[in-house]
Amino acid sequence: MDYRLLDGKKVSNETKEKIAKEAKRLTDDYGVRPGLAVVLVGNDPASQLYVNMKEKACKKANFYSKLIQLDERTSQDDVIDVIEDLNKNDNIHGILLQLPLPNGMNEKFVNSKISPEKDVDGFHAINAGNLFLGDKGFIPCTPKGILRLIKYYDIEIEGKDVVVIGRSNIVGKPAGLLLLNENATVTICHSKTRNISEYTKKADILISAVGRPHLIKKDMVKLGAIVVDAGTSKVDGKLYGDVDFENVKNNASWITPVPGGVGPMTIAMLLENTLEAYKKKWK
């Protein structure tokens, strides 16, 4: 069957252009640019790459960007001190703690020290609780990007059977909640789920967020399904998604590519969350 691409790069670029224009207008009004601070502990190459991408995106969006890079031997208390200083900084509207943290640090505890009003990653318990309740708050960027991408292409969600593979607090769980709040019927599969293909073959919308190359094969996907690949991994320097794209595309009505699908949407939603935090501060 003929498939169509869920083009995250296109949607992301359109979103970032709107954000840049609004950021410039608001900066002219208030005299302060939207500010995003990134705290990076250690020198993990993948984390460094992501941070560089976020810095470039901030500059293009007319944001103020601040990178605080700490040695991997920095104590957890010192990292928290940095976060608490940023909480008090009126030029910083969003704080992002780049994960993973070095061994021995409690990611959940350190994240809890970020002010909920500046938690643009949406990981604080208050923002997670708002998502659970269906109330307004910051939504984790990747799940928010997935939902935005689906809606951009006018794909109906209400009443659809959705299967999410992966139960992380960063993607899987919040993605399931978001789509549940859109009146879908949601099933979350994970490493302990038996016979995963029995669930995936019934999915109208299939979202995979595991990080296992080509986990999803053609025979696991219903004809006409919408397939969203939110899992990436590198093998011998090459980027792979969870979905075996070349084969699965023949069963899909819509499908995300890797790269160029969910990834660009994540950064766009980070900028959008930061702009929202800025507007709450100044309005």
Angle at 109 between CA 119 and CA 33, to 5 degrees: 20
In-domain check, residue 120: no
- Kindly give, in sequence order, each residue whose CB lies less than 8 Å from that of residue 271, ignoring residues fewer than 6 positions away: 15, 16, 19, 36, 57, 58, 61, 63
Mean pLDDT over 212-238 rounds to 95
Same domain for 162 and 92, yes or no, is no
Residues in contact with 70: Cβ distance below 8 Å, sequence separation at least 6, in sequence order? 39, 40, 41, 42, 78, 79, 82
CB 2 within 8 A of CB 254: no
Q: What is the pLDDT of residue 2?
A: 87
Active-site hit among 16, 98, 229, 244: 98
Tokens of residue 107, six digits: 């990611």
pLDDT at residue 282, as a whole number: 79
108 and 147: one domain? no
Q: Give the count of domains, the chain.
A: 2
List the CATH number of the domain containing 49. Answer: 3.40.50.10860
In this predicted model, what pLDDT tens digit does every residue of 101-149 receive, in sequence order? 999 999 999 999 999 999 999 999 999 999 999 999 999 999 999 999 9
Catalytic (active site) residue 69: no
β-pairing, 94-97 with 161-165?
unpaired
Same domain, 146 and 207: yes
Residue 59 lies in a domain: yes
For residue 257, tell me if it sits in a domain: yes
Measure the CA–CA gap between 106 and 100, rounded to whole angstroms.
Answer: 10
147 and 89 in a common domain: no
169-191 pLDDT, tens digit per residue, is: 999 999 999 999 999 999 999 99
**pLDDT, tens only, 29-65:** 999 999 999 999 998 888 888 899 999 999 999 999 9
pLDDT score for 213? 96
Between 1 and 171, where is the model more confident? Answer: 171
pLDDT digits (tens, 9 = 90+) for 193-202: 999 999 999 9
Residue 47 lies in a domain: yes
Task: Please report the pLDDT score of residue 174 as a whole number.
Answer: 98
Query: Does residue 24 belong to any structural domain of this protein?
Result: no
| Whether residue 258 sits in one domain with residue 147 | yes
From the list 121, 204, 229, 242, the catalytic residue is 121
- In this predicted structure, the answer to whether residue 237 has a pLDDT above a threshold of 90 is no
pLDDT score recorded for residue 3: 94
Q: Is 54 a catalytic residue?
A: yes
Check whether 1 has a pLDDT greater than 80. Answer: no
Model pLDDT, residue 45: 85
Q: Is residue 198 part of a domain?
A: yes
Range of the domain at 254: 141-262
Position 43 scores a pLDDT of 87
Please check whether residue 161 lies inside any domain of the structure: yes
Q: Angle 241-207-167 (CA atoms, 0-180°, nearest 5)?
A: 95
195 and 256, same structural domain? yes
Rounded to whole angstroms, the Cα distance separating 176 from 214 reads 21
CATH number at residue 214: 3.40.50.720
Mean pLDDT, rounded, of the chain: 96
Asked if 108 and 150 sit in the same domain, the reply is no
Q: What percent of the chain has pLDDT over 90?
A: 93
Is there a catalytic annotation at residue 160? no
Q: Is residue 132 part of a domain?
A: no
Q: What is the mean pLDDT of residues 249-267?
A: 97
Co-location of 35 and 76 in the same domain:
yes
Q: What confidence category does residue 153 fall into, taking pLDDT thresholds of 50, 70 and 90?
A: very high
Tell me: do 92 and 179 sit in the same domain: no
pLDDT confidence of residue 165: 98
Are 99 and 146 part of one and the same domain? no
SS3 content of the chain, % helix, strand, coil (to 5): 45, 20, 35
Beta-carbon contacts of 140 under 8 Å, excluding residues fewer than 6 positions away, are 121, 122, 123, 170, 171, 174
**Domain endpoint, select from 115, 131, 165:** 115
Q: Are residues 101 and 145 in the same domain?
A: no
110 and 146 share a domain? no
The backbone torsions φ and ψ at residue 64, rounded to the nearest 5 degrees and listed phi first, read: -90, 130
Residue 283 has pLDDT above 80, yes or no: no
